[in-house]
Amino acid sequence: VPLEETSLPLFFGWFLLPGIQDKVRCTSMDFLKTLDTLEAFKKHLPDFTVEAEKEVDLEQYFQANGALHCTTKFCDYGKAEGAKEYADKPIVKELYGSAFELSLSALFVTPRTVGARVSLSEDQLTLWPADAEKEAVPLVPAAATLPAGSRAHITLGCAEGVEPQQTGFDLLEILALQKEGQEGELVEEMELGSLAYYGKGRWLLSLREPVSAQACFSSLYG
Ligand code: A2P
């Protein structure tokens, strides 16, 4: 009996190929290393951490999890709403195991998570669940007004005690602020791109050159 008939995976998503995982991790490390030395970051440190610390080592602050990926549908082995419907979609079956090029357009840091924004192409959006942004509305009300695919991201690290799904909510919050016309306070032109501050410890680095990441559309049973 094929596995897919016995149970559903923990999640479906695009899994970065090993070489590009290393590159993305290095880029993220470089960014964190630079960010916590910037005067602007130090100035806003009280927004970042509630602890009365004068400094924070961001590379220590965030814990990296397993293989880098961009979740499309979290299924929780079938317990999540819409899991079976997603797994049964013809396009999901058709593209399962196919190679894609994801475009990583920004890196962001909040007191909870560090992640990469994934800007999905129209082809890639065919694999994006219709309700991904709506599911976030209880936590991020403005997510209702954002276009499909806005939540697409790669979790690069989480602060202690924070669940990886928080990364998508943090990204949606920043995008909602952008949409409201808050451009963020332009802080610095870095080698990687422009760094903006959105308050409450939220930082967004728009990459000058988006990182193109080869990835395989697949699933994880965990
Ligand atoms: P993300 O996609 O933001 O990295 P876990 O280890 O907690 O079981 O999660 C496995 C993966 O599924 C992680 O990548 C995680 O977050 C994602 N995930 C977990 N819960 C949800 C959820 N409720 N909605 C969407 N994605 C989720």
d(CA 175, ligand 1 centre) in Å? 20
ipTM beyond cut 0.90: yes
Rounded percentage of the chain residues whose pLDDT exceeds 90? 86
pLDDT surpassing 60 at residue 4: no
- pLDDT tens digits for 8-50? 999 999 999 999 999 999 999 999 999 999 999 999 999 988 6
What's 97-128 look like in SS3?
CCEEEEEEEEEEECCCEEEEEEECCHHHHCCC
Which of 24, 71, 140, 150 has the most ligand 1 atoms within 8 A of CB, as the residue to mutate?
71
- Which position among 73, 151, 153, 202 bears the catalytic label? 153
User: What pLDDT is recorded for position 2?
Assistant: 57
Q: What is the pTM of this model?
A: 0.95
Ligand 1 atom with least separation from CA of 70: 2
Averaged pLDDT, 88-107: 98
d(CA 53, ligand 1 centre) in Å? 30
At residue 222 the predicted structure's pLDDT band, cuts being 50, 70 and 90, is confident
- pLDDT tens digits for 49-93? 867 677 889 999 999 978 999 999 999 999 999 999 999 999 999
Active site residue 44: no
Using CA positions, which residue lies closest to atom 2 of ligand 1?
71
- Which position among 27, 41, 62, 69 bears the catalytic label? 69
As given in the structure block, the two tokens for residue 208 are 């000058």
- pLDDT tens digits for 171-203? 999 999 999 887 788 888 999 999 999 999 999
User: What pLDDT is recorded for position 65?
Assistant: 79
Active site residue 69: yes
Residue burial 73-110, b: 16+ Cβ < 10 Å; e: rest: bbbeeeebeebeebbeeeebeebeeeebebbbebbbbb
Tell which residue, 208, 183, 180, has the closest CA to residue 197: 183
Strand partners, 213: 102
User: What pLDDT is recorded for position 54?
Assistant: 74
User: What pLDDT is recorded for position 5?
Assistant: 54
